[in-house]
Amino acid sequence: MTHPVIGWERETPVHNHVFNDFLSAREGRLYLEDLDLAQLLVGGRQDQGLGRVLPSPLELVYLPLIRRRIGQMRQTFAEAIAQTGYAGRFYYAYASKANEAEEVVRTALGAGAHHEMSSWVDVEIVRLLKAAGHLPPDRLVIANGFKVGGMAYTDDLIRLKSIHDPLIPVVEDLAELPPLVESGLPFDVGLRQKSYGQHQTLAEMDAADSRFGLPSAQLWQAAEAIAAAPNLRLTLYHAMIGSQIISEHEFVAGLRPAIEVYAQLRQRYPDLHIFDYGGGVPVAMTLNLQFDYCAFARLLLTTLQEVCTQYGVPVPDVMGEMGRYTVADHGAHFFKVVTVKENESLLPWYVIDGSIMTSFPDTWALSEHFIVLPLNHLDRPFRRVRLGGITCDSDDIYPPKPSQSPLYLPVDTRDLYVGFFCIGAYQEMLGGVKGTKHCVLPEAVELVVDRDDDGPYQFQVIPGQTAADVMHNLGYVVPENTV
């Protein structure tokens, strides 16, 4: 396989160029849809409503891309359903663990997504969203995660049921059933199959080395217990085989043993009607990932049709719990190149005014690649470089250590700003929000951008941390007005 393409790979300037479906170079500057990104930090051209420039580093939260992605996927499945004559519907659920920020979850719900969650604090978030009118009464809430008796999450879910009826706990351990039965409340429940990983057969799936879900024997036991409970109904079957699965065929082939289990369960339990493939739908966090979403949707639906016909059961409704796909590309993070260090290393170091490893933990933990492009000077010559974060950690670099992907940035580093793109899923959740991080670097200012269709941009600036905030976290008593 070729290396992940993370940016411009030539020494020649970038003249007007389209990088992907939301990033383009126009007259030396980088645009995200219609937003001039350099304008946010250096100004100099037409103001788009912000009215000032912001300090670096800067986090960008660009909400229209969340709506666009949700709309595209719902459209993709609507077309695939029409093309294949599929007799079921598609549920788009946002897996909120990918990014729990209020504006993100609110935007996903506003775009029609159902809600997937996994912890007791999530229950509080759902209560708030409901009270604020963002979670309509008919919107499904899918509760994944561990929830055995005695856990706060379990008790909170039982309380949530009385204010939001379409709540579906997805049982992933036999010990999760008794509290639901004992609640006496009429729960629709799901069962999670142990299915993580690539497998061709049920035996392989059962042998998967994963702490998530129930192996087949326990799954059937759970289904029987649900059928015997007067207040429970088995309506959903959940099987997730991984995250960022980049082949449509491997994705559906990996789900096939689970589809067979679904059909067998459906023969015995007629209330069962949702096949939930969990997460795993990939998103292009680099410039050369190709995934054919239409082909994936068609293949999934035709495989469901084929297997259900074989077992003589109706096809299910299909649910996707989309985390990374929903939010990866709405988030970007901009830094200034503060110095260029030529110290006889293999490549010159462009040192930026923030930390790569704490802002995007997957770069050093998983050697994950993200798109990196300059915001300005695109119309000038480039050279191959490496980025260095401003911390003292040898892993605070990009591209990550074993990477073969070349990174080119402009030779002219006067007032040069660079952006990391497609970092909106998991990175902030893993790195933490407003904590205290490596080398005590404060959190950046955040700019939340939204617009109605193609209307003018609306901006909200959320202040970053001060040095006093950081010191406070660490137990220092900071006299007022000192930092």
Ligand X SMILES: Cc1ncc(COP(=O)(O)O)c(C=O)c1O
Residues that bind ligand X (CB under 6 A): 95, 97-98, 116, 144, 240, 243, 278-281, 321-325
Tell me the C-alpha distance between 2 and 11, whole Å: 20
Helix or strand (DSSP H, E) at 223: helix 216-228
* 3-state SS class at 321: strand
Considering the complex, state which of residue 64 and residue 282 has its C-beta at the smaller distance from ligand X: 282
The least distance separating ligand X from the CB of residue 241, rounded to whole angstroms, comes to 10
Residue 55 or 71 having the CB closest to ligand X = 71
CB 216 within 8 A of CB 225: no
Q: How far is the CB of 473 from ligand X (least distance, A)?
A: 28
Residue linked to tokens 């999530």: 122
CB of 102 to ligand X, least distance (A): 19
Report the nearest approach of ligand X to the CB of residue 242 (Å).
Answer: 7
The CA-CA-CA angle for residues 334, 339, 344, to 5°, reads 125
* Alpha-carbon span 125 to 99, nearest angstrom: 12
Q: Which is nearer to ligand X, 6 or 322 (CB)?
A: 322
Nearer to ligand X, 40 or 98 (CB): 98
Cα maximum dimension of the chain: 74
Of 119 and 144, which CB lies nearer to ligand X in the complex structure? 144
Helix/strand/coil (H/E/C) assignment for every residue in 268-316: HCCCCCEEECCCCCCCCCCCCCCCCHHHHHHHHHHHHHHHHHHHCCCCC
Nearer to ligand X, 173 or 469 (CB): 173
Question: For residue 184, what are its two tokens?
Answer: 């006496």
Q: Give the shortest CB-387-to-ligand X separation in angstroms.
A: 26
Rg (CA), the chain: 24
When the beta carbons of 325 and 459 are compared against ligand X, the nearer one is 325
Burial 213-237 (b: 16+ CB within 10 A, else e): bbbbebbbebbebbeebeebbbbbb
Q: Which is nearer to ligand X, 278 or 442 (by Cβ)?
A: 278
How many CB atoms lie under 10 A from the CB of residue 445?
A: 16
Measured from the CB atom, is 57 or 280 closer to ligand X? 280
CA distance 414 to 391: 22
CB of 173 to ligand X, least distance (A): 14
Nearer to ligand X (CB atom), residue 24 or residue 195: 195
Q: Which residue has the tokens 């995007």?
A: 360
By beta carbon distance, the residue nearest ligand X is 279
In contact, 192 and 144? CB cutoff 8 Å: yes
Which residues make beta-bridge pairs with 334? 58, 419
Shortest distance, position 133 Cβ to ligand X, whole Å: 26
Pairing of strands 317-322, 90-95: parallel
> Shortest approach of ligand X to residue 322 CB, angstroms?
5
| Shortest Cβ 134–ligand X spacing (Å) | 20
The three-state secondary structure class of 126 is: helix
Query: In whole angstroms, what is the distance from residue 41 CA to residue 2 CA?
Result: 34
Q: How far is the CB of 212 from ligand X (least distance, A)?
A: 7
